[in-house]
Amino acid sequence: MLKRFWNDESGPELVEWAVVTLVLLVATVLVMVSLRNEVLVFLQSIFTVLEAEPPDSYIISNP
C-alpha cells in the first residue's frame, strides 16, 4: 500500500495545476490593474458616442 501511494502521481499533478492557475490569476490581476485607466478611457469614449444624437444623414425623409 505504501509503494502504491508513493508511485501515485495524481497528487503532485493536482498541485502543479493549482500553481499554474494561481500564477495565471496573479498575472491577470496585474495586467488588469495596469491597464485600468486605458480601459476606462476606451469605455467612456464608447459611451460618449452612444449618448450623442445621430447625424442628420441617417434620417430618412419622406419624398
DSSP letter, residue 8 = -
* Interatomic CA distance for residues 60 and 37, integer angstroms: 39
pLDDT tens, position by position, 2-61? 777 667 767 778 888 899 999 999 999 999 999 999 999 999 999 999 998 877 666 666
Q: What is the pLDDT of residue 24?
A: 97
Q: Give the angle subtended at the CA of 14 by the CAs of 10 and 17, to the nearest 5°.
A: 140
DSSP letter, residue 35 = T
Residue 37 has, within 13 A of its CA and on its CB side, a CA count of 1
Q: What is the pLDDT of residue 25?
A: 97
Q: What is the pLDDT of residue 14?
A: 80
Number of other CB atoms surrounding residue 8 within 10 Å: 10
